[in-house]
């Protein structure tokens, strides 16, 4: 099960799905309000949406591969419903309850989200998270995906209870699924801090840093990421 991040959609996985699907059944979906999914009209839980997708396909258990917000969702699902999670791959993951340091760029990012300034939000998304730029692999798709989801994102985040009442960091030791923690060499520095906490806190977790990649690893370095995922998946 492939879970994309905020401001993205399931196109994030375009470059890795063909090879993964040669070895495993692969499901990816657009998180509520993003991509081709229906805009939310009431509060919702990303974790319960994930559980509903598992139920829809009749899956008692699945390996969860999540990037950024998708990694946070996967981790919270593994804590809330451990029996449903066969393995975890946390890619450039955020963690519910994590306190991010203050910086001018992150403050501007938060302000753009709060003010629903979609143009500024899209620009900052690319500046902060797609630091390798348009010329790097996947650059055009990343720009298109971010632009098309900027307005959808602010609407979705008004209704999503993604982190309300959740704090995964104190409970990392409760994770029982085999876990792989991955981040890109050129991702935001705080992602490396979070990755270290995940590896330290989750029993038996394995860490990998991918060179020549920022936050958008599945599009920047699809071959290396696919290799790592296949090493984890049963």
Each residue's pLDDT expressed in tens, for the chain with a length of 234 residues? 999 998 899 999 999 999 999 999 999 999 988 999 887 777 888 999 999 999 999 999 999 999 999 999 999 999 999 999 999 999 999 999 899 998 998 899 888 878 888 888 889 989 999 999 999 999 999 999 999 898 777 766 665 655 455 799 999 999 999 999 999 999 999 999 999 999 999 999 999 999 999 999 999 999 999 999 999 987
> How far apart (Å, rounded) are the C-alpha atoms in residues 82 and 185?
30
44, β-bridge pairs: 160
Report the length, in residues, of the chain.
Answer: 234
What separation, in Å, do the N-terminal and C-terminal C-alpha atoms of the chain show? 13
> How far apart (Å, rounded) are the C-alpha atoms in residues 29 and 17?
12
pTM of the model: 0.93
| pLDDT at site 150 | 84
| pLDDT at site 10 | 98
CATH architecture for residues 2-232: 3-Layer(aba) Sandwich (3.40)
Q: Work out the angle between the directed axes of helices 139-159 and 118-129 (0-180°, nearest 10).
A: 120
Burial of 165 (0-12, 13-18, 19+ CB in 10 A): exposed
| CA 26 centroid distance within chain | 16
> How far apart (Å, rounded) are the C-alpha atoms in residues 155 and 43?
11
Residue pair 68/93 in contact (Cβ under 8 Å)? The answer is yes
> How far apart (Å, rounded) are the C-alpha atoms in residues 199 and 188?
18
> How far apart (Å, rounded) are the C-alpha atoms in residues 164 and 124?
24
85, β-bridge pairs: 62
Domain range annotation of the chain: 2-232
Residue pair 230/23 in contact (Cβ under 8 Å)? The answer is yes
Q: Tokens representing 49?
A: 């949406």
| pLDDT at site 157 | 65
Residue pair 65/93 in contact (Cβ under 8 Å)? The answer is no
| pLDDT at site 198 | 98
């Amino acid at each position: 099960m492939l879970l994309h991040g905020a401001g993205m959609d399931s196109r994030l996985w375009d470059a890795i799905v063909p090879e993964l699907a040669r070895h495993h059944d692969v499901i990816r979906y657009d998180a509520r309000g993003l991509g081709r999914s229906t805009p939310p009209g009431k509060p919702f839980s990303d974790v319960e949406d994930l559980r509903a997708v598992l139920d829809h396909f009749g899956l008692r258990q699945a390996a969860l591969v999540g990037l950024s917000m998708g990694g946070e969702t996967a981790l919270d699902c593994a804590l809330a419903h451990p029996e449903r999670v066969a393995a975890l791959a946390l890619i450039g993951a955020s963690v519910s309850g994590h306190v991010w340091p203050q910086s001018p760029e992150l403050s501007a990012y938060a302000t753009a989200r709060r003010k629903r300034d979609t143009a500024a939000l899209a620009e900052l998304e690319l500046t902060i998270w797609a630091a390798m730029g348009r010329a790097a692999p996947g650059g055009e798709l990343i720009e298109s995906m971010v632009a098309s989801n900027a307005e959808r994102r602010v609407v979705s985040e008004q209704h999503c209870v993604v982190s309300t009442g959740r704090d995964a960091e104190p409970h990392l030791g409760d994770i029982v699924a085999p876990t792989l923690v991955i981040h890109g060499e050129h991702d935001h520095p705080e992602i490396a801090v979070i990755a270290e906490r995940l590896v330290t806190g989750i029993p038996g977790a394995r860490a990998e840093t991918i060179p020549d990649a920022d936050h958008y690893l599945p599009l920047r370095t699809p071959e290396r990421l696919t290799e790592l995922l296949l090493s984890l998946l049963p």
